Amino acid sequence: MLGYKLVSHKPSIARVAGHHLAERIDAEYYEVEHLENAEKFEKNLVAVALSGRFDVTKLSGFEYTEHFTKSELEEGVVPCVMSQNVGSGSLHLANCIKITVNKHNYLKRSKLEANEIVLSYTGQYRRAATIPNNTTLLHLGPNVCKLTPNYKAIDSYFITTFLNCYHGQDFLDREKTISAQPTVNMERIRGLKIPDIHLVAQTYIGNKVRQAEILKEWAKLIEQQADGIFSRMTSQLGYVEQKSKKTGWATLQNRLDPVFYDQQYAFFNDDWFVKNSKTLTNYIYEGSYGVLPASNSYGTGSCRFVTATDIVESNYNSQKFKNVPIEEVNKKAKISKGQILLEIKGGINYCVVASEVLDGTYVNGSVFRFTVKDIDVNYLAYYLNSKFKNLYCDRVSVNNIIKYLDQESIHALPVLRLGDDIENELAHSYRTVQILTREIFNLTQSSKFLIESLIEGQITETQLIEAQQALEDSDNSKDKAILNKLTDKGYLVEGGKPLFNDLDKLYELLDDAQNATDGNSSENE
């Protein structure tokens, strides 16, 4: 047990036994929050050093400088996981550096394999993700280490969830050192304390993340199918994708920037497109920009407030929403369930239908929110996430440094109509993906809450074991009993809303997802 005496929470003051100071002498290491969390951990769980369960390695300096050269990266096809590619429990590989297959095979030590964990150790935020089984070629990049299991009775998804939960993040935050930017060195990572619980209990929690991945795979499949339908229909109407080809000054009319007349945008003036489209203003019942509170007002007041980033990254995580004073908002920025939220500054390529989580929340000025009329809101949301909408935004965005859609451009945005049958099908696909996205978040969040409740002593290892064993016997009653106690604020937290609204529907979705992904795998073999 840690030897300390609490003096004050704010400011953080504690008297720490002298023999502990041989470990670290920096005051931040002994902040009251760190001490209290460590004490809870040691009280309620058996701990083991991470190195007792995983081998920890990173990309060596010479590997990076000698082999990640400009020419290598230009010819590369194998994605390399860097810090920005590691999310909280998932990988985001849309924008990453790539090396050649030959170099990937040559640098065997830094290859990434299924069931290994990648952990970003540099920067303000330390995130972990497990390499899924369906991963093909993948390589370790800079500022990320990999954890390779060296112990049989270990569930990588369980450990990943621990590293991403509140207590795991606090442990990692405690171990950081400050140089140019916060970093946790390899020695401190290897010595990090992790829970040592029965494998069956680990599996119960790890399965929540694996279930989320199954839903994610199904959602991706649905999106691919919907995009295929959209592409076939637009091709039938007359769309032919054109490569970028700038127009000369001689053709300039109302605008003086040649990029506006780039060949890839020419279809907007084609007869087939003009005939089958209407401007967005025809479908806006009511709409307005959000508000921009003063930067020093964030975290104060009683009004829930979200930014464009919150909507894109954590649409369902109400814990990440901020509060601002009521004087800093107005009714025009208040979100209602079912409205469309359109990002109009920065990326300007994202839109979402507001869920019940966002109902009554205020939104910032980087978002245009509007109520829809005379069109299926889910089809419109699908279209506003399509390549056609993104091409339009690229064409008309008024700021070359930070993309921005002014109100005139928003209202003039052309919406392609494809007929009721096709629009209904695309709307159904979009709506299903949104439902799956919500459950993906809930399952991932439930795994974090369960580990936190273990550390807090609110649930026992035995309960988790019994629930998992029952599930293996096709009995979900104990699983239901546990999940029903989860709210959006945690396990057995008063004042929270149920994390899962309909567990029977969740089980049904999981069965459907398993069947869909299994069927797709069979077709690809």
For residue 399, pLDDT over 90 is answered with: no
Burial of 308 (0-12, 13-18, 19+ CB in 10 A): buried
Which tens digits make up the pLDDT trace of 165-179? 999 999 998 888 766
The Cα 94–Cα 422 span in angstroms is 28
Q: 67 vs 288, which has greater pLDDT?
A: 288
The Cα 523–Cα 334 span in angstroms is 46
The Cα 435–Cα 63 span in angstroms is 43
* Residue 298 CA from chain centroid, whole number: 23
pTM, entire model:
0.89
Q: What percent of the chain has pLDDT over 70?
A: 91
Q: Residue 305: which H helix or E strand, with range?
A: strand 303-306
Which tens digits make up the pLDDT trace of 267-319? 999 999 999 999 999 999 999 998 888 888 888 888 988 888 777 765 567 77
For residue 483, pLDDT over 50 is answered with: yes
- To which residue do tokens 């502990």 refer? 20
Which tens digits make up the pLDDT trace of 14-48? 777 666 666 676 777 778 888 888 889 989 999 99
Which tens digits make up the pLDDT trace of 113-168? 999 999 998 876 789 999 998 788 999 998 899 999 999 999 999 999 999 999 99
**Structural domains present in the chain:** 45-196 (3.90.220.20), 221-426 (3.90.220.20)
